[in-house]
Amino acid sequence: MRLATIRTKDGTRAVRLDGDQHVELGFRDVGALLAQPDWARWAAGEGAVSPASSADFAPVVPRPSKVVCVGHNYSDHIREMGRDLPQFPTLFPKFADTLLGAYDDVVKPPETEALDWEVELAIVIGTPVRRATEQEALSAIAGFTVMNDISMRDWQFRTVEWTQGKVWDSSTPLGPYLVTPDELDGGVHPDLTVRTLVDGVVMQEDRTGTLLFDPVHLVRYVSTVVRLNPGDVIATGTPAGVGHARTPPLYLVGGEIVVADVSGLGACRNLIVKGS
Total domains in the fold of the chain: 2
Can you give the pLDDT at residue 153?
97
Query: Mean pLDDT across the chain, nearest whole number?
Result: 96
54 and 108 both lie in a single domain: no
68-77, 130-139, 204-213, 222-231: which has the minimum mean pLDDT?
68-77
Mean pLDDT, residues 101-129 taken together: 98
76 and 29 both lie in a single domain: no
CATH of the domain at 146: 3.90.850.10
For the segment 132-170, what is each residue's pLDDT rounded down to a tens digit? Answer: 999 999 999 999 999 999 999 999 999 999 999 999 999
Long-range CB pairs of 37-44 (<8 Å, 24+ gap) are 39/126, 39/142, 39/230, 40/1, 43/1, 43/3, 43/16, 44/1, 44/16
52 and 65 both lie in a single domain: no
47 and 133 both lie in a single domain: no
Can you give the pLDDT at residue 75?
79
30 and 68 both lie in a single domain: no
Can you give the pLDDT at residue 76?
76
| Polymer length in residues for the chain | 276
Mean pLDDT, residues 2-29 taken together: 98
48 and 21 both lie in a single domain: yes
For the segment 234-274, what is each residue's pLDDT rounded down to a tens digit? Answer: 999 999 999 999 999 999 999 999 999 999 999 999 999 99
Provide DSSP, 57-109.
EPPSSSS-S-EEEEES-SHHHHHHTT-PPPSS-EEEEE-GGGEE-TT--EEEP
pTM: 0.96
What's the CA gap between 149 and 103, in Å, rounded? 14
50 and 69 both lie in a single domain: no
CATH of the domain at 45: 2.30.30
Which value, in Å, is the radius of gyration of the alpha carbons in the chain? 18
Per the CB < 8 A criterion, the answer to whether 236 and 120 are in contact is: yes
66 and 108 both lie in a single domain: yes
21 and 54 both lie in a single domain: yes
Mean pLDDT, residues 13-17 taken together: 98
Instruction: Determine how many CB atoms are found less than 10 A away from the CB of residue 74.
Output: 23
Mean pLDDT, residues 212-228 taken together: 97
User: Does residue 47 register a pLDDT over 80?
Assistant: yes
Domain interval for residue 125: 59-274
Q: Which residue has the higher pLDDT, 275 or 143?
A: 143
| Residue 138 parent element (H or E) | helix 134-140
Percent of the chain with pLDDT over 70: 100
User: Does residue 83 register a pLDDT over 90?
Assistant: no
52 and 145 both lie in a single domain: no
| Residue 275: band (very low, low, confident or very high) from pLDDT cuts 50, 70, 90 | confident
Mean pLDDT, residues 194-206 taken together: 98
